[in-house]
């Protein structure tokens, strides 16, 4: 009986360890879901910063998970979008780049991480294109790597499409050029299924909305 109890305990312990690594630790899962709700209901920069703080807190506890840092970076990306002050934009995006590198250290060769990194590098460039032209190449390299890792990741085309959409025609951008890429993004979003409920699954609406403006 005693040995049986011991082995059951051992099994239980082992299962709990394994499940933690598969991010089904209920507390982590719940906290991440709460964070995703904060993102879903976010309206302005402040809401995104609130969600970012939330994910930062998760990241300090769930030190083996890449998602908290990934979402913290995502929140900073959006907080930057919604801020007019260029200096603040820069600060949010610098922080986001540190967070995305942290995520990369925890989950190497992850297409989602490189896609978000590409978006951040592009936005950093957009703050001061004249002096940061070199970031264009870095952004393209990140997005290319993301596509090699998972060509079906719809967020890559969304980010590329978005970048081209907002780049003036004279500099190789424009709505006409963005259209086919956004169409490809929308098509990929219809097939895309995240492997679990908390993995990245954002962007389908944004892709549709941008594509609508291309017509």
Task: Closer to other proteins by CB, 128 or 152: give it.
Answer: 128
Under the binding rule (CB under 8 A), the answer on residue 95 touching other proteins is yes
- Strand, coil or helix: what is 169? helix
Under the binding rule (CB under 8 A), the answer on residue 183 touching other proteins is no
Under the binding rule (CB under 8 A), the answer on residue 199 touching other proteins is no
Spatial CB neighbours of 76, under 8 Å, sequence gap ≥ 6: 48, 49, 52, 92, 93, 95, 96, 99
Report residue 126: phi and psi, to 5°: -65, -20
Q: Binding pattern to other proteins, positions 118-147, x when CB under 8 A?
A: ---------xx-xxxxxxxx--x-------
Under the binding rule (CB under 8 A), the answer on residue 54 touching other proteins is yes
Q: Is-contact 118 140, C-beta < 8 A?
A: yes
Task: Closer to other proteins by CB, 38 or 189: give it.
Answer: 38
Under the binding rule (CB under 8 A), the answer on residue 50 touching other proteins is yes
Task: Closer to other proteins by CB, 56 or 112: give it.
Answer: 56
Under the binding rule (CB under 8 A), the answer on residue 46 touching other proteins is yes
Report residue 108: phi and psi, to 5°: -70, 155
CB of residue 168 to other proteins, shortest distance in Å: 5
Task: Closer to other proteins by CB, 140 or 204: give it.
Answer: 140
Distance CA(22)–CA(16), nearest Å, equals: 10
Q: Which of 22, 60, 190, 195 touches other proteins (CB under 8 A)?
A: 60
3-state helix, strand, coil in the chain (%, to 5): 75, 0, 25
Under the binding rule (CB under 8 A), the answer on residue 207 touching other proteins is no
Binding segment toward other proteins, per CB under 8 A, in 45-53, 105-113, 142-150, 180-188: 45-53
Q: How far is CA 88 from the centre of its chain?
A: 20
Both tokens of 113, joined, read 């991480």
Task: Closer to other proteins by CB, 35 or 203: give it.
Answer: 35
Q: Is-contact 92 79, C-beta < 8 A?
A: yes
Spatial CB neighbours of 80, under 8 Å, sequence gap ≥ 6: 45, 88, 89, 92, 93, 96, 123
**Which residues form the interface with other proteins (CB under 8 A)?**
1, 5, 27, 31, 46, 49-50, 53-54, 56-58, 60-61, 86-87, 90-92, 94-95, 127-128, 130-137, 140, 168-172
């Amino acid at each position: 009986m005693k040995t049986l109890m011991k082995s059951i305990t051992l099994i239980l312990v082992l299962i709990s360890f394994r499940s933690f690594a598969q991010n089904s630790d209920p507390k982590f899962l719940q906290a991440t879901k709460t964070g995703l709700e904060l993102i879903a209901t976010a309206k302005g920069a402040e809401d995104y910063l609130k969600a970012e703080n939330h994910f930062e807190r998760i990241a300090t506890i769930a030190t083996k998970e890449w998602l908290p840092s990934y979402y913290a970076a995502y929140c900073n990306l959006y907080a930057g979008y919604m801020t007019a002050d260029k200096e603040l934009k820069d600060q949010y995006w610098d922080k986001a780049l540190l967070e995305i590198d942290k995520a990369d250290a925890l989950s190497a060769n992850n297409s989602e991480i490189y896609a978000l990194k590409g978006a951040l590098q592009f936005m950093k460039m957009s703050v001061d294109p004249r002096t940061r032209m070199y970031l264009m190449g870095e952004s393209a390299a990140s997005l290319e790597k993301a596509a090699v890792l998972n060509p079906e990741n719809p967020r890559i085309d969304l980010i590329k499409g978005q970048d081209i959409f907002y780049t003036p025609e004279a500099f190789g951008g424009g709505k006409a050029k963005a259209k086919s890429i956004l169409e490809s993004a929308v098509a990929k979003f219809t097939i895309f299924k995240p492997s679990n409920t908390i993995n990245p699954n954002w962007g389908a609406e944004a892709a549709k909305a941008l594509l609508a403006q291309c017509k």
